[in-house]
């Protein structure tokens, strides 16, 4: 028996379902009942019931791609803020190998990097690296911070949402799995992109988001909607858009479904080249 509807707001301890349903993320079983363990929105997938937190912290995993800011320089490593309760470190050996260089001449405090999580130990110390295509230091641009669980919705099915934003604003956009988003373009387009990303975060749980974001982009960039869109506004969804909404919404309840090799594909997202460190 189910006691709540999909996308319903629930609080900790609230009974969600009984008997035939089994608990997913953000829930627990008490006898034959499934209850919410946090404040958030219900997500129903077949007989599995989960609760998507309205706000959550990034918990790093090996293989994740993240955006981080240098916040400390030590003898043989940089400290990196990765928007998480756990601090990241970038060992000098990941950048130079066995060579000895003055770390502050390469990366200074405040520099923003695109990195990969190399390892996470038992006390959640996060080792980061720059090996791989596209890893390195960002030049200029702005950062937008969103809830990490909303990252799949920002990207969309096969990159549909993020590519729509990039195509309309002509901005370069890189999304980290830790909820930090780098945007670079004309100043006015950067601000439009930031506003649209914040709107997606705020309304990620709602239906019809793809169309609303499309319309918002046209209005902000062009000042008006194309006639063909105005004439078809009576039909909110086509089948592909509905599949996109369902796919992205279902991904919000399970971060394991975020596939770094696809979502941050070289063809999907613009990424800066690793800087040349030779003196």
Cα–Cα separations (whole angstroms), residue 72 to 77, 103, 109, 257 = 9, 11, 6, 32
pLDDT along the chain (279 residues), means of 10: 87 91 90 89 86 79 94 90 89 77 85 94 88 86 92 91 95 94 95 96 88 94 82 48 49 43 38 38
**Domain map (residue ranges) of the chain:** 9-53, 65-137, 142-263
The correct CATH number of 65-137 out of 1.20.1250.20, 2.40.50.140, 3.30.1330.60, 3.30.70.270 is 2.40.50.140
pLDDT in tens, 194-221: 999 999 999 988 888 999 999 999 999 9
Distance CA 88, CA 117 (A): 9
Q: Which CATH architecture has domain 9-53?
A: Beta Barrel (2.40)
- Is there a contact between 65 and 176 (Cβ–Cβ < 8 Å)? yes
For 15-55, the pLDDT digits (tens) are: 999 988 989 888 999 999 999 998 888 888 888 898 877 66
Instruction: Name the H helices within 3-156.
Output: 93-96, 151-155
Quick check: do 65-137 and 142-263 share a fold? no
pLDDT the model gives residue 196: 96
Domain 142-263: give its CATH superfamily.
K Homology domain, type 1 (3.30.1370.10)
DSSP state of 187: H
CA pair distance 170, 134, nearest whole angstrom: 19
Q: What is the pTM of this model?
A: 0.69
């Amino acid at each position: 028996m189910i006691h709540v509807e999909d996308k319903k707001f629930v609080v900790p301890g609230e009974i969600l379902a009984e008997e035939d349903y089994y608990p997913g993320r953000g829930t627990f079983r008490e006898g034959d009942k499934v209850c919410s363990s946090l404040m958030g929105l219900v997500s129903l997938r077949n007989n599995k019931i989960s609760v998507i937190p309205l706000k959550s912290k990034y918990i790093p995993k090996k293989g994740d791609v993240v955006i981080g800011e240098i916040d400390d320089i030590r003898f043989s490593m940089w400290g990196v803020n990765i928007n998480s309760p756990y601090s990241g470190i970038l060992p000098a050996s990941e950048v130079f190998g066995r060579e000895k260089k003055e770390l502050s001449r390469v990366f200074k405090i405040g520099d923003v990097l695109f990195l990969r999580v190399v390892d996470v130990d038992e006390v959640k110390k996060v080792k980061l690296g720059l090996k791989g295509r596209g890893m390195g230091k960002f030049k200029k641009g702005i950062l937008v911070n969103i809830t990490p669980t909303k990252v799949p919705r920002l990207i969309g099915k096969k990159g549909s949402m993020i590519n729509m934003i990039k195509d309309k604003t002509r901005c370069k956009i890189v999304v980290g799995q830790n909820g930090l988003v780098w945007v670079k373009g004309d100043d006015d387009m950067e601000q439009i992109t930031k506003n649209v990303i914040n709107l997606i975060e705020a309304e990620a749980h709602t239906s019809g988001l793809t169309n609303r974001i499309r319309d918002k982009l046209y209005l902000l960039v062009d000042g008006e909607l194309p006639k063909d869109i105005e004439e078809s506004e009576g039909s909110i969804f086509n089948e592909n858009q509905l599949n996109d909404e369902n796919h992205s919404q279902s991904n919000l309840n399970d971060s394991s479904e975020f596939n770094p090799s696809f979502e941050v594909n070289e063809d999907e997202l613009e990424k800066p080249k690793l800087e040349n460190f030779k003196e």
